[in-house]
Structure 1
């Protein structure tokens, strides 16, 4: 059975509290429950990781490179726009990865319109809320 890891970066543990006009009122737990249900329907396994610390996320990705993980879905949060180190970790893990953003980063502040991590991913989904994670999960589930 395919195992897919969903990684959420800084401040995503505050979903439902932080800027609900941008990110909605659902929590990270709500997202994880939604993805667990979808994974069961797709016949894949999911595991979740969230950290507010760049180095911890990079270390975690490094652990997946030589494991039984099939692919990654990552919402790097603000690290999207600032972390070349995170890009390098994603590029070096050799796993199909999809970058997801709850908000449309291209309609936000100028600094948020450029992703350093996207070139290390097979695709980017932005602005679809939690549905973006579902789309990413469905795509990875059908890859060989």
Structure 2
């Protein structure tokens, strides 16, 4: 559907697609109503067949533009890779190939964590601190059992 011949209807449809509330879009498109009358008039305009079709068309166009899929990204990366090869930019070509491989899950970045786990001298804790620690860790220890296989006597 082409642009609406009524400029105010077109402005209203454009404002709706941009996310404006109907009454705000109604006023912004040049109509003078205010308050409840603006809401009622905007509601009537939304139900106009030509306006509703134009809004649907504009929303569809916006959705198509916003759709980014793995396939579209892969196509862009392939286009960049082909251009890089044509320009004899091997580093850029490799980078595009690696981007595609990551996109398809063929390469996963691994991160190695470093640092010490740490050991703690529990003999220096007070009875209250030991009690708090036991309250926190006790349920974990009860469900895990004794890893040594030996039972307490």
TM-score by length of 2: 0.18
Greater C-alpha radius of gyration? 2
Q: 1 or 2, which has the higher strand percentage?
A: 1
Normalising by the residue count of structure 1, what TM-score does the alignment of the two structures yield? 0.18
Q: Identify, as 1 or 2, the structure richer in helix.
A: 2
Query: Per chain length, whose mean CA-contact separation is higher, i.e. which structure has more relative contact order (CA < 8 Å, sep 6+)?
Result: 1
